[in-house]
Amino acid sequence: MPVGLTAVAEPNSSGIKVIVVGLGLGGLAAAIECKRKGHEVIAIDQQKELKPIGDSIGIANNAAFVVRRWGDGIVDKRLQKIIAHPDIMGMYDNKGQLYVNSDMAGYGHGQGYPAHRGDLAMVFYEHAQEIGVEFRLGHRVTEYFETDTGAGIVLGDERITADCVIGADGIHSKARGGIIGTDPAPHSSGYAMYRAWFDSKDVAADPASSWILEGAEKDDVTRTYLGPDVHVMIGTAKHGKEIFWMCTHKAVQDVYDVAESWSFPGKIDDALEYIKDWPILSKIEPILRKTPDDRLIDFKLLWRDPLPTWVSPKGRMMIIGDAAHAFLPTSGQGAGQAIEDAATMAICLELAGKDQIPLALKTTQAIRYKRASLMQQIGIETRDGWHKTDWEAVRKDTSLLEMPRPSWIFSHDCQEYAYREYGKASECVRQGVPYVPHNIPTEGAYHRQMDFRPPSNVAVAV
C-alpha cells in the first residue's frame, strides 16, 4: 500500500531490495528515499570513509521539497546551521560596474540549501545512518549483472543480489558501462574551472580584501564578474565565516584526456593569468591570494552528450544523477536533479511493486528524461550568455545576466508529480508509446522565464 507524499513506510515493508552504488548527494538521497518508501537498501562506495570534500553547491527549492520531508524536518534544521544565507547575487562587468543585483529566489532564505557540498553530504549521511541504511564502504564494484528476476554486483569474491541496482557514481561512473552496456567517452566542454572554499579569517584581517565581508554577518552575498570567455564568482558563506570563489575560463589546452577530479591542485598564479588584464583585478586579487595552497582545485569541465537510455536491457538496473546526465555548474541544478531522480525512482518502485521492477525503472526514466535534458541545455545557455555578453542588450535589459528562475523548475514538487503521473507514465511504458511529461514547459513556451515566486512567507531582497 503506497504511503503517500509525506508518510514513511515501515522498514523493509515493500519487499524490494535495492543496491545503491556511489554515495555523493544523489546516491545518499537515493538510499534515504528508498528507505523511506519501505525498501531494503544496501549503499556502497569505494571510499573507505565519506569525507566532506568539494566546494560550493546549491540545492534549489525544487529539490529542497524532498529534503524538507526527511525526519519530520530534522534534516532541514541541521542544514540551516551550515548553509550560506544569500539574498542577492551582484552581476558585474570586469571593470567592476554593477549591472543588476539579482535576487536569489529559489536558493535564498527558506527555499534552498546553498552550502559546501561536503557539509551537505555529511548531513545526508548522518540521516541515512539514523534511519537504518546499510552501508558498505571501501568496496569497489567489479561487475554488474542482471537476470529476469533480479540484479546484483560483484565486490571482489562476493556476489550481492537484489531486486534492482541503482548507479549513482557521478560523471565518471563505472556503473554506466555495466548497467546500460555503453560508456561513451567524455569530451571537452571547452571550459575549465578553478574552485576554492576556505576560512575567511585571513580575508578579514586584510583591509584590501575585507570589503567582501561587509554586511555578511547579516546576509551572505555573491558577486559574479564577467569578461570575454571567463567569469569569476566570489561569495561568502555561513554569515561571512567562509569564502568561496570560482573562475570558469575557456580552456587553453586540450582536456579530452584530462579527468574531472577534486584532487588536482591548482595554482593561484595560473588562475590570475586569465584575468590579468581586468580593470577590477586589484580589488579581487587580494581575496584570491588568501586561498590556502591545499584548497584550490583545477577542475576540468567535461561533457557527455545525452545518453539514449538510463536503464539496463532487462530493466533491473538504472543510472541516475551525473552518471546519467552531466550538468555544467551554470545550470545550478546538478545536485537538485540527482535528488529528483532519486525521489522519483523510490516512488515508482513503491507504486509498481516487487513484481514490476523493470516497469518502475523505465517509468522513472519516462518521467525524468526530458526534464533533466532541458536543464542540461540551460546550463550551456547561461554559460554562453555570461561569456559572450552583449553589453548593449544588457544595458536595455539587465535580466539577461540573471540565472533563469522559471517556475517549471523551482516550483516543481517531483514527489507530488510522481504520485500523480505514475499511472499515465507507466501505461505509456507498457504500451510502448511516448509519455508526454508535464514537468517541462509546453511545446513552444519559453523555458527561461523569470516567473518563479517564493512562498509569501519568505522574504527575498531585491
What residue segments make up the domains of the chain, in order of their start?
Answer: 17-85+113-184+305-431, 187-303
User: Does domain 17-85+113-184+305-431 match CATH 3.50.50.60?
Assistant: yes
Q: Are 230 and 249 in contact (CB under 8 A)?
A: yes
- Taking only the tens place, the pLDDT of each residue in 360-370 is 999 999 999 99
Q: Are 83 and 115 in contact (CB under 8 A)?
A: yes
Grid coordinates representing 236 are 561568502
pLDDT less than 50: residues of the chain: 254-263, 457-462
Q: What pLDDT does residue 256 have?
A: 42
187-303 has which CATH code?
A: 3.30.9.30
Active site (catalytic) residues: 195
pTM: 0.90
11/15 Cα distance (integer angstroms): 10
* 17-85+113-184+305-431 shares its CATH topology with 187-303: no
Q: What pLDDT does residue 171 have?
A: 80
Q: Are 410 and 61 in contact (CB under 8 A)?
A: yes
Q: What pLDDT does residue 102 have?
A: 86
- Measure CA of the first residue to CA of the last residue in the chain; give whole Å: 46
- Taking only the tens place, the pLDDT of each residue in 248-295 is 998 765 444 444 444 467 899 999 999 999 999 999 999 999 999 889
- Rounded to 10°, the helix 414-431/357-387 angle is 120
Grid coordinates representing 377 are 541545455
Query: Would you tell me how many other CB atoms lie within 10 Å of the CB of residue 388?
Result: 10
Q: What pLDDT does residue 261 have?
A: 47
